[in-house]
C-alpha cells in the first residue's frame, strides 16, 4: 500500500469520525503542518457535500414527479397521507442534520489537559471550584449529555470566576462544541467569531477551521 493510498484511508476515517481521540489528535497535528494534506481534506469535504446535495435534490425531484403524475399537474396536493410523509422526511433530515453536527463536534473534540499551571514563583497552583466545574462539563460532553455541559459551561462564561487550569478561551471552545452537538449551529458560530478575534489564543486555529466548515 502506497503512502498516498494510506493517506486517503486516514482522510476517510477522519471525515467519517471513526478515529479515536488519540488518532484524531495525531492526524490533526500532521494536517496543521502539511499544506497538501489540508488541501486533500478540504477537497474530500467538498466532494461529500456535493454528493449529499445531489442526493437531496434527487429525492425532492422524484417526489415532485410522482405527485405530478398522480394529479396530472405540477403542484403538490397535501392529503393526510402526504403530510405524514412530509413530516417523516422532515424528521429524517433533521435527524441527519443533528448527526452531522454531532459528528463534526466529535472530530474537533480533544480532552483538555488537566495539568496544574505553575505560578510565577514556581509553585503549583491548586485546582479551583471553577476548574472542577469545567472538567465536569467536559465529562458531560464525553457522556453525550450536551445539555448539562452547556448549562455548566455557560454559567462559567456568564459568571467568570478564578480558574487556575482552564482559560476563558477553553470555556468558549468547549461550549461551542457542546452547542454544535446539540444542533445549535448559530450559537456555535457566534462563539467561534469571538475566539478568532484573538489570533494568539490557544484555540484560534481550530476555531477558524471549524467556522469555515460550518459556513461552507
Q: Are residues 73 and 99 in the same domain?
A: no
Helical residues (DSSP H) of 109-203, grouped into ranges: 129-142, 146-158, 168-181, 185-195
DSSP-derived secondary structure letter, 166: S
My answer on whether 66 and 86 are in the same domain is no
What pLDDT, on the 0 to 100 scale, is given for residue 137?
92
- Work out how many domains the chain is built from and give that number: 2
Which of 34, 60, 77 corresponds to the end of one domain? 77
d(CA 116, CA 164): 7
Specify whether 12 is located in the same domain as 88. Answer: no
Across residues 148-158, what is the average pLDDT? 91
Q: Do residues 115 and 26 share a domain? A: no
Same domain, 138 and 177: yes
Euclidean distance between the first and final Cα of the chain, in Å?
Answer: 33
Residue at which a domain ends, from 77, 100, 130: 77
Q: Count how many residues are written for the chain.
A: 216
Domain co-membership, 126 together with 190: yes
pLDDT at 160 over 90: no
Q: Same structural domain for residues 15 and 50? A: yes
Among 77, 92, 125, give the residue marking a domain's end.
77
Binned at pLDDT 50, 70 and 90, residue 153 comes out as very high
Angle at 105 between CA 115 and CA 40, to 5 degrees: 105
CATH classification at residue 159:
1.25.40
Write the pLDDT tens digit of every residue in 8-65: 778 877 777 778 888 888 888 888 888 888 888 888 777 777 666 666 666 667 767 7
Does residue 146 carry a pLDDT above 60? Answer: yes
Q: What SS3 state is found at 46?
A: helix
Residues 91 and 31 in one domain: no
Report the candidate in 118, 138, 111 with the shortest Cα–Cα distance to residue 22. Answer: 111
pLDDT of residue 1: 38
Q: Is the same domain home to 91 and 41?
A: no
Which has more pLDDT, 93 or 163? 163
Q: Are residues 60 and 109 in the same domain?
A: no
Question: Looking at the structure, do residues 164 and 200 belong to the same domain, yes or no?
Answer: yes
Residue ranges making up the domain that contains 56 = 1-77
pLDDT band at 193 (very low <50, low <70, confident <90, very high): very high
Radius of gyration of the chain (CA): 22
Q: What is the pLDDT of residue 30?
A: 86
% residues pLDDT > 70 (the chain): 69
In this prediction the pTM is 0.54
Residues 55, 87: one domain? no
Q: What are phi and psi of 124, to 5 degrees?
A: -75, 130
Amino acid at each position: 500500500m502506497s503512502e498516498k493510498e494510506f493517506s486517503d484511508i486516514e482522510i476517510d476515517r477522519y471525515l467519517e469520525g471513526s478515529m479515536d481521540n488519540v488518532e484524531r489528535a495525531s492526524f490533526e497535528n500532521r494536517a496543521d503542518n502539511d499544506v497538501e494534506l489540508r488541501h486533500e481534506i478540504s477537497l474530500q469535504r467538498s466532494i461529500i457535500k456535493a454528493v449529499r446535495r445531489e442526493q437531496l435534490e434527487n429525492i425532492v425531484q422524484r417526489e415532485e414527479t410522482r405527485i405530478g403524475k398522480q394529479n396530472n399537474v405540477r403542484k403538490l396536493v397535501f392529503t393526510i397521507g402526504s403530510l405524514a410523509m412530509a413530516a417523516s422526511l422532515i424528521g429524517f433530515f433533521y435527524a441527519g442534520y443533528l448527526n452531522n453536527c454531532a459528528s463534526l463536534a466529535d472530530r474537533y473534540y480533544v480532552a483538555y489537559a488537566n495539568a496544574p499551571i505553575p505560578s510565577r514563583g514556581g509553585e503549583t497552583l491548586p485546582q479551583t471550584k471553577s476548574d472542577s466545574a469545567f472538567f465536569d462539563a467536559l465529562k458531560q460532553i464525553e457522556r453525550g449529555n450536551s445539555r448539562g455541559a452547556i448549562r455548566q459551561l455557560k454559567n462559567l462564561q456568564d459568571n467568570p470566576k478564578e480558574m487556575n487550569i482552564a482559560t476563558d478561551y477553553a470555556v468558549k471552545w468547549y461550549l461551542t462544541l457542546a452547542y454544535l452537538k446539540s444542533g445549535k449551529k448559530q450559537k456555535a458560530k457566534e462563539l467561534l467569531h469571538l475566539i478568532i478575534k484573538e489570533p494568539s489564543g490557544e484555540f484560534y486555529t481550530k476555531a477558524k477551521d471549524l467556522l469555515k466548515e460550518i459556513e461552507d
